[in-house]
């Protein structure tokens, strides 16, 4: 995927629009949040096949097995080039061991997990376990 010429502004606008969003499977979960960032930066939606296919944790797991590569991390591996977290740049996707977020520099933004209230959560680089180039 190639980033659009205005990708930084598009990413900034997208992240601002997600600032207060509450976690909802199939609409505003970590995978769709990260895919929305990729869509903003590139114009390509890596989650197009997943949208509208689930509305629960169980449904998400089934969709990842049916449409993806078995689980979220493996599905991301099949779509993006893996890189060391220390080499991640703004807009790259970040794995914290449980969820996917978006690199914002020294920290990554993740959508707050279900039951943790709404909005985005900052996760420091020291807590990153993986990354993918966008």
| pLDDT tens readout for residues 104-130 | 999 999 999 877 878 999 999 999 999
- pLDDT value at residue 37: 98
- pLDDT value at residue 97: 96
Spatial distance between the Cα atoms of 66 and 89, rounded to a whole number of angstroms = 31
Task: Report whether pLDDT(45) > 80.
Answer: yes
Task: Report whether pLDDT(1) > 90.
Answer: no
What percent of the chain is modeled with pLDDT above 90? 95
* Residue burial 53-85, b: 16+ Cβ < 10 Å; e: rest: ebeeeeebeebbeeebeeebbebbeebbeeeeb
- pLDDT value at residue 116: 81
118: its two tokens? 């709404």
Query: What pTM value is reported for the model?
Result: 0.96
Mean pLDDT of 11-35: 96
CATH of 7-133, one of 3.90.1720, 3.30.1370, 3.30.70, 3.40.50: 3.90.1720
- pLDDT value at residue 43: 98
Spatial distance between the Cα atoms of 116 and 82, rounded to a whole number of angstroms = 29
């Amino acid at each position: 995927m190639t980033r659009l010429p205005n990708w930084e502004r598009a990413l900034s606008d997208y992240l601002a629009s997600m600032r207060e969003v509450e976690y909802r499977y199939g609409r505003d979960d970590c995978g769709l949040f990260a895919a929305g960032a990729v869509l903003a930066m590139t114009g390509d939606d890596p989650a197009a096949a997943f949208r509208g296919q689930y509305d629960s944790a169980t449904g998400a797991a089934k969709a990842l097995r049916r449409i993806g590569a078995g689980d979220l991390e493996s599905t991301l591996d099949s779509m993006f080039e893996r890189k060391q977290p220390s080499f991640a740049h703004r807009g790259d996707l970040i794995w914290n061991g449980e969820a996917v977020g978006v690199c914002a520099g020294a920290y990554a933004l993740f959508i707050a997990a279900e039951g943790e209230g709404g909005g985005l959560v900052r996760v420091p680089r020291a807590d990153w376990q993986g990354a993918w180039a966008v």
